[in-house]
Amino acid sequence: MRTPAKPATNSRLGKFRGPQRGAEFAAETAVGAARGCRAVLLDRDGVINALVYHQDAGVIDAPYTRAQFRLLPRVPQAIRLLNDLGLPVAIVSNQPGIAKGHLQPEMLEWFDRAMLTQIQSAGAHIDGVFYCLHHPEAKVPSLRRRCRCRKPQTGLLEQAAAQLHVSLSECYMVGDGIPDLLAGTQAGCRTVFVGKWKCEICQFSEAPQIRPALVAKDLWHAAKLIRQELAAARRQRPAARSGVCCSGKAQVAAPR
């Protein structure tokens, strides 16, 4: 299921008391932040499928051809794990390849079918696919625009959350790039970076203070980290009348 992308409408603090208390507080904060998480938003290229080095252009980018499209190891199993945790999973991805003239819409549809077929073969499923097809310098006039759905803007995430019937503060945002972290942070999501996080990557960020809540080597590792956080949150006795949402902001619990 691919939903056309359109412009969308729309910490806890504590005193540090030494290394041990700092570690305990970090763990408590993570547990509290994870307690309200109810859905997972995934970037596509570099998280679900492999990126490709296009030698003619000298760039690393999304695949353009059938031969270049392949899922990364254990991706279907990771999504199955998230499904088993009861978390809806949606894909939110910038896909300007059509706008730039790199591929035709039929190829993007083929990528979707290949991706979803392999995921379903592992007994997993995706609850929604949301793409931003726009680019400010698109060769295709109808797709040349500055929109709210292109990450790091949050419009695409808003569309996904609305379809999943969750708030963005109840979502994990998993991605391999700075735009994913920026979009997730601005939207109030709990962010997960997939890859090797290095401090110098922040030099290229529009917001150098951005830091992911979790860092995982791949989607399978990210899914396991999410499982650990949710398990820890469930073990911790909730407060009688209040809780903490996924982003770490206090919430009043609904009466039973």
- Domains and their CATH numbers in the chain: 2-8+38-252 (3.40.50.1000)
Lowest mean pLDDT among 116-125, 153-162, 178-187, 189-198: 189-198
- 19 cis-preceded (ω within 30 degrees of 0): no
Which position has the token pair 């902001």?
A: 249
Spatial strand order in the sheet of 171-175: 2-3, 128-132, 89-94, 39-42, 171-175, 190-194, 214-216
pLDDT, tens digit (0-9, with 9 covering 90-100), for 119-165 = 999 999 999 999 999 999 989 999 999 999 999 999 999 999 999 99
Residues 6+ apart with CB under 8 A from 247: 33, 168, 169, 188, 189, 190
- Nearest CA to 156 among 176, 182, 193? 182
pLDDT, tens digit (0-9, with 9 covering 90-100), for 54-105 = 998 888 999 999 999 999 999 999 999 999 999 999 999 999 999 999 999 9
- Residues marked active site are found at 43, 45
Which position has the token pair 């088993």?
A: 84
158 sits in which H/E element: helix 155-164
At residue 252 the predicted structure's pLDDT band, cuts being 50, 70 and 90, is very low
- The chain-wide mean pLDDT, for the chain, equals 82
Predicted confidence at residue 41, as pLDDT, reads: 98
At residue 236 the predicted structure's pLDDT band, cuts being 50, 70 and 90, is confident
